A and B are shown apart, each in its own frame.
Chain A
C-alpha cells in the first residue's frame, strides 16, 4: 500500500509541467558553466572551486551543486514542498486524500518521501550532466582537489556521489521547513515566497559579523562548509556540522508540519 502511494506521489510530481521545466533549468546550469569556462580565456574562473575548474571536468558537478545550493536548489525544494500540501489544498485534492483515507502522518511521510526522492533525482541529474558536460568541455584527467592532489576517476565519482547525498540532505531540510509552511496555507506562492525570503535573509544576515552569535542557527551557514568534500584528505568536522544543522532543520520542519497537519481542519 505504502509503496504504491509513494510511487503515485513521485509519478504525480514528475507529471507536473512545472517540475519538468525546473529539472530542465537545473540541467542547464552545469552545461552553461562548462561552456563558460571552456570559452573563457586566461586562468581559472575565480575564487574557490571555480579556480580549479579549468581542465578539470570532474569538478563541474561539485561546483554546479555548490553554486546551486545557495538559491536554485532551495527554490526547487520550496516549489515541491509548496505544491505538496498548499497546492493540494488549493486544488481541493488534499480533502480527497484525507477522505480516501490517508492518515495525516502517512500523508506527511508520503510528501517528505516525494520531496526526498525528487531532490535526489534532481541533484543526481545535475551531477551526471555536470560530469558529462565537464568531461566534454574541460576534459577529464582524474579529479584535482583544492589541496592540489589528483584523485582517480573512480575516487572522484565517489566524492561526487558523497556530495550529491550531502546536497540532497540540505535540500530536503529546506524542503521540510517549507512543508511546515505549506501545511498552514492554501497558497503555494506564499510557501515559496516565505522559504526563499528566509534563505536570502539568512544569507544576508550571515554577512554581518556583528551577528555572529546568530550564524550557527542559520541553515545557510552550513552551505559553504560542504566544499570540504573537495579537499584531500576530507576534513569531516564542517561537513558533519552542516549536516547536523540541516538535520535539526529537518526535525523542526517535519515536527511542525506534523503538528499542523494533525490539528488542521480541511
Chain B
C-alpha cells in the first residue's frame, strides 16, 4: 500500500507544480496590465506607474517572480489580491464554504433522485416508463445549465414568486459566519425565518447545478443495475423465494452502486465547472463568481491562486478516490 501511495504521489506532485508554473507564466501573458486596468481611463503618470509596478514586484524577471511565488506557496502564501488587498488564501476559505454548500446540496439532490430513477428504469426495462425516464435523463444530460437556470428563475421566481432570484439569504438577516454554511449558520443565529430564507435561496441553484450529475447518475445506475440483475446470484436469490424488494435492494443495488460511486467521485471537477455558471446566474458569492470577477479585474494573484487551489482540490479528491480503490481492490494496487 505504501509503494502504491508513493507511486501515486510521484505523479500528483509534479502535476501540481506544473499547474503552478503554467498558471504563473500564462497569467503573465494576459493582455492588460493590472495597474492600468485599475486606473481606468483617467490614466496614470509614468513615474507613478513605475512605482506601483515596483511595489507589486511586477518589474522583476519572471523567473525570480516565480521562485518567489513557489517559496510563498510552501508557506501557505498564495499571494495578495490586487483589488481587495486580502490574502488570496483567506478569500478562498471565506468563499469556499458557499461553493461547497451548493455543491454538496447539488450532489445530494442528484443522488437522492438519480439512483431511484435508474433503479426503476432498470426494473421496468423496455416499458414506456423506462423510455420516459431515460429520455428525460438524456435531455438533462444535454442541458445548457445557464439557460436552465434562467428558465427556472423565470418560472419559479418571476411568475410564481416562490423563490428569490439571487444571493444566499435575504438582506434582512445578518449574522457572523460560524461554519460558512448558510443553512447551519442561519439555524445557529436563532433568527426567525433565517433558515427558511437560506433554504429558499439554495433550492434553484441546487437544481441547476445538480441536473447534469442527476442525469449521469440515473443513466449509470440503470446500466449497472441491468448488468447486476442478470447475474447468477440474483437469480439464486429470486429462486430461493426472497421478496423482490430484498433482491433488488440488498443483492442487486449494493453491487450496482460500485460503478455509480466511481462516477460520483469523478463528478467533482465537472461540479466545479458547473459552479462557475450557476454562481454567475444566481449571484452566489462563491469560488466561481470570485474567479470570473478576477478575470474582469485582471487580478492575477486571485486567478492564479484560485485556479491552483481549485485544481489542488480536484487532484486531492481524485487521489483519495484512487487510494480508496487501491485499499479495496488489490488488482488496482498492484497493477501497471
Note whether A and B form a binding pair: no
